[in-house]
Chain A
Amino acid sequence: MSEALLEVRNLSVGYRIGAGTVHAIDDVSFTVHEGETLGLVGESGCGKTTAGRAVIKVMPANASITGGEVRYRGRDLVPLSNEEMRAIRWNEIAVIPQSAMNALNPVYRVGRQIEEVIVQQDGASPAEARARAEELFRLVKIDPGRLAHYPHQFSGGMRQRALVAMALALNPALLIADEPTTALDVVSQDRVFTRVRALQKRLGASMLLITHDMGLVAENCDRVAVMYAGRIVEQADTRTLFGAPVHPYTLGLKNAFPSTTRPKDEALISIAGAPPVLLEAPRGCRFAPRCPFATPRCRDEDPALRPVGPGHHAACHHTALAGEMRARAVLSETWTAGAP
């Protein structure tokens, strides 16, 4: 395997709210290797966005890293000052955010916003920055004449492509893409993401792709980490994760995800219940209350993420029974009868 570019180790992040602290992510570890794309998947509130933001330390005022390390090329970013982080953002690690409308300043021309990043981060002259911005626009297939326009004069797809151009402006080694296309229409989503992938390959950059879309993950990621309630519950290469998952939550997600290639009469199965509120650390496995395979041990004892195969980890006490769980998981009665 190629070298580790980003190593997140035992990372925990808390949000202080009125009633206490919400432990949005708790003891999370993952690695992004040189040139690879790692998918961080899960449903709303699972902590995937928090994990991505903690990596570059762009977090809301009430959030803080309460433990762990974020090693980028071997150097821990957690203790770095804002000033030191500024040298890393854009140049080394760049973010493609979810909503282009909020990420672009409406009162400045788009070109100015991109050129500013290039001048500030790279010390380029305004003429160099302009030339670079034009080249970037050509790469994302926008007419460079559009640099003179304001964000509202762009279509949604163009705005998102402009943000892609901006993220790539300084040839970062790591891209963090957090639901980079969900705000767009179906056809634009595919066009924009295809463009992102082509540029990523051209730059040789790595990507942390944060999404709820299992289709996007299946098609684009080398490896996948599945998050549930602030924890990583399973991690594997993409083929293994889709072909032979072992964690009951991953099994449930697979049943629930619709696809145009599924037989129409094959029932989608939901997972009863809802994720826990993370105000206090739950006892036992966090998925146990919704898990049809849970035993008393699961409700008492928190399972650690353990190896179950080459490069394959899962946090479940019953991984030895994975084959049986997989067979039972495709039956809808498993999820209706078994759930408490």
Chain B
Amino acid sequence: MDGGGPVSAAPLVTARNVRKSFAARGELAGLFARGEGAMVHAVDDVSFEIREGEILGLIGESGSGKTTLGRLLVRLERHDSGSLHFQDGRDLAALGGRALREYYRDVQMIFQDPYGSINPRFTVHDTVVEPLATQRLGDASGRRDRVARALERAGLRPPRAFADKYPHELSGGERQRLSIARALVLEPKLLIADEPVSMLDVSIRAGILNLLKQQSREFGLTILYVSHDLSTTRYLCDRIAIMYRGRFVELGEAERVIDDAHHPYAQALKAAIPIPDPEFDRPRSEAGEDPDEAPQESAGCRYAGTCPKAMEVCHRRAPELRPVDAGHSVACFLHHPADAEARTD
């Protein structure tokens, strides 16, 4: 799949036709479903690349599969089919034991809730040194230096002022910086950041976004930024993929995907965001009401049931993600009329 951004860079991650399903888990489904339950296709036939040094944004709403996709890349989940490869040819499906542990030197993750992902009984130093101990890297003084470097890099300066503090002594923004320091201490190539600023206040948020940007620009860190928020994603990312019900509907250079959204779902998302400028007259979406019933799984486009522009073919076949322009791909028959006419049977 193509998009804008640094063109020459080799992909750090290559995903081909990746699928991941879970047993449906409604509030009561577990009580009544016996044996073969319904399956939810969290990630459904997704192919993409993460280029070395880029910040790729993954936008989607709850249930879009964006978080699952991030978790597949750090092997918190295993994909059902398709392939996921790291740059040097490592197959994520084959990693286990020692190979998996070594993989975490290259790939780290930070989460939405810095409270939930940090041990409250560990000091800042204990928290950041832990990955080094797990990986059996360095001696005590070497580790201290690496911890100090990571704290510095994450903006917890001077490091010695923070090393002995406990998480409850830190502000929300500092706590997220701590989890970033812990992720960076192994000097990974890829960071998966899952909604890293959505729990933070606006005045703090910008600092974390700028910190992530700096990691990419200064240290060449590759980042997958997973979020529901179009504004922060557009600000931070080089390229953006928009997910809807397990599929990529649009992918390309960040500004193009947001400012010139092609897919009706991407357009509806953009049109739904209030603009913090009283002089700005926001064009409203013509999209219909959100359906009150969860749409049935069908062979067609996942958005067809809601889409104001759906055609007959959209209910029968799923459109493929294909270029509309250099560096901009869309999965929609409206933009690929030739695909709509093609016979598949």
A-to-B contact residues, CB < 8 Å: 43-44, 141-143, 146, 152, 154-155, 157-158, 185-191, 194, 212-220, 238-239, 242-243, 252-262, 264, 267-274
Contact residues in A for B255 (Cβ distance below 8 Å): 264
Closest to A238 in B: B278
Bound state CA distance, A253 and B255, in angstroms?
A: 23
Bound state CA distance, A118 and B198, in angstroms?
A: 38
9 A-B pairs (CB sep. < 8 Å)? A43-B203, A185-B62, A190-B271, A218-B275, A239-B278, A256-B205, A258-B209, A262-B231, A270-B210
Contact residues in A for B287 (Cβ distance below 8 Å): 187
Selected contact of B292 from candidates A158, A214, A255, A272, CB within 8 Å: A158
Selected contact of A242 from candidates B210, B278, B290, CB within 8 Å: B278
User: Nearest Cβ in chain A — how far from B327, in angstroms?
Assistant: 15
Contact across chains for A190 and B274 when beta carbons are under 8 A apart: yes
B172 is an interface residue with CB less than 8 A from chain A: yes
Interface members, chain B 207-264 (any A CB < 8 Å): 207-210, 228-232, 234-235, 254-255, 258-259
Chain B 67-89 near chain A by CB (<8 Å), digits 1 or 0 = 00000000000000000000000
B206 is an interface residue with CB less than 8 A from chain A: yes
Smallest CB-CB A-B distances: 6 pairs: A215-B274, A270-B207, A268-B206, A190-B272, A274-B171, A258-B231
Closest to B273 in A: A260
B279 is an interface residue with CB less than 8 A from chain A: yes
Bound state CA distance, A14 and B61, in angstroms?
A: 38
Q: From known contacts A258-B235, A264-B255, A268-B235, infer whether A252 and B292 are also in contact, taking CB-CB under 8 Å.
A: no
Size bracket of the B interface:
35 or more
Selected contact of B272 from candidates A44, A187, A273, CB within 8 Å: A187
Selected contact of B274 from candidates A216, A238, A243, CB within 8 Å: A216
Closest to A268 in B: B206
Contact across chains for A188 and B290 when beta carbons are under 8 A apart: yes
Contact across chains for A219 and B275 when beta carbons are under 8 A apart: yes
Bound state CA distance, A217 and B275, in angstroms?
A: 9
Contact across chains for B232 and A259 when beta carbons are under 8 A apart: no
Closest to A216 in B: B274
Contact residues in B for A212 (Cβ distance below 8 Å): 201-202
Contact residues in B for A154 (Cβ distance below 8 Å): 292
Contact across chains for A264 and B232 when beta carbons are under 8 A apart: no
Contact across chains for B277 and A242 when beta carbons are under 8 A apart: yes
Bound state CA distance, A262 and B275, in angstroms?
A: 10
Closest to A267 in B: B210
Contact across chains for A214 and B254 when beta carbons are under 8 A apart: no
Bound state CA distance, A146 and B279, in angstroms?
A: 39
Bound state CA distance, A242 and B202, in angstroms?
A: 16
Contact across chains for B210 and A268 when beta carbons are under 8 A apart: yes
Contact across chains for B279 and A191 when beta carbons are under 8 A apart: no
Contact residues in B for A191 (Cβ distance below 8 Å): 272, 289-290
Q: From known contacts A185-B62, A190-B272, A270-B207, infer whether A259 and B277 are also in contact, taking CB-CB under 8 Å.
A: yes
Interface members, chain B 264-286 (any A CB < 8 Å): 268-280, 282, 284-285
Contact across chains for A218 and B278 when beta carbons are under 8 A apart: yes
Closest to B201 in A: A43
Closest to B255 in A: A264
User: Nearest Cβ in chain A — how far from B156, in angstroms?
Assistant: 13
Contact residues in A for B28 (Cβ distance below 8 Å): 152
Contact across chains for B203 and A215 when beta carbons are under 8 A apart: no
Contact residues in A for B278 (Cβ distance below 8 Å): 218-219, 238-239, 242-243
B204 is an interface residue with CB less than 8 A from chain A: yes
User: Nearest Cβ in chain B — how far from A234, in angstroms?
Assistant: 15
Selected contact of A274 from candidates B27, B172, B254, CB within 8 Å: B172
Contact residues in B for A141 (Cβ distance below 8 Å): 289
Selected contact of A43 from candidates B202, B277, B285, CB within 8 Å: B202
Q: From known contacts A142-B292, A256-B206, A268-B209, infer whether A186 and B274 are also in contact, taking CB-CB under 8 Å.
A: no
Contact residues in A for B282 (Cβ distance below 8 Å): 219
Bound state CA distance, A187 and B230, in angstroms?
A: 12
